Chain A
Amino acid sequence: MRIAVCIKQVPDSTQVKVDPATGTLIRAGVPSILNPYDHYALECALKLKKETGAEVCVVSMGPPQAQEVVRLALALGADRGILLSDRAFAGSDTWATSYALSQALRHLGGVDLIMCGVMAIDGDTAQTGPGIACQLGIPQITFCDEISVAGTTVRAKRLIEGGHETVEAGFPALATMSLPHEYERAYPSFRQIAAAQEKPYEVWTVATIHADPKFLGLNGSPTRVDRVYAPSARERGTIFTGSPAEIVARFLEILKQENFVK
């Protein structure tokens, strides 16, 4: 069995600070991390590897520095790492990204199960996973928080509005993983990191995956960013400062005034 996990390097949004003067984000010096949803998808794939002996390949599309997350995945136990990197991919929206990744997965070949994070924390779209499944013409199971494999069938517990459902599909299939409620990301040990230095990763370009350049990058993307701007500030409300007792008294007054307490 071969499992491919699609992973993305993202800025760590928990480390991003807001500039109080301009209200915009201070991006400089923000560390990059493996997208947490992808991290969980990778850990689920590695668990399946333990249970079934599957081979786990990770594929990441991104600029050259995205090799960091490919190396992290190798250190965590992935067998093979592929960095899909080419200037022609830059500016791809979710459509063009799923096209590029699906071409890479075709080129990889023999993949039974594709696993992705539900979404990346820098875009929150959740569109790339279903996009890849569609391009490859295979079934998708999205928003899973548990996944298992029996023979050539994948079974997953997925979120639905107000509950869960358990579904099954035959190979090949694509699953997108949501974060379970209690989840601690696993990080590699020094020994694993050292061992991973021996594992080479591959760099693939547009030519490697036989992608049609007209479907890639900005020009191949159906969506276009028309304008980017700071959100319009609402009228600033009334701001109170004072001793704790004064604040509490004023707060209670407002709750009464606005009829939230009788």
Chain B
Amino acid sequence: MELLTWVENSALGTWVRESPSAWAYSGLISFHAFGLAFVVGLSWAIALRILGFAPGLPLAPMEKLFPVIWIAFWVNAVSGALLVTGTATNDLTNPVFFTKMTFVVLGVVTVWLLKNQVFRDPASLNTRAAAQKARILAAASLACWAGAIVAGRLVEYPVLFGLRKE
């Protein structure tokens, strides 16, 4: 807890939270929304395609979307880390925040697995076992990112769970 207080009161944490600069809290949270839209939006599009929507859309070119997802992910990792320095004593003691982070980590793992297993050889999806595995991964990815959005929004409402917001 002392560490969290130190982080929050550090020059960086104070700047993030209190600076009137358009790059501080409000700018960081905007970049966090840009990244969310692309990470989740593109991951969902890939997952929906694998689950059978838009079957006319060829799967293989979707591989080119992964670099965009990773860029958007890093935008969010950096903006998210900076935001947390400003509100460390709240976030890092909030179980809803850790729920969100769990979903994010699982979401990243599912996207990584889709990229490295399914897209290494999209033609293999013609075999029944591989297609089944891909669908399970896609459904898991869809669900993890949905969970990340739900928990991410609820981070700001710990009172809903009887948790105190300081």
A and B held together in a complex: no
Residues of B at the A interface (CB closer than 8 Å) are none
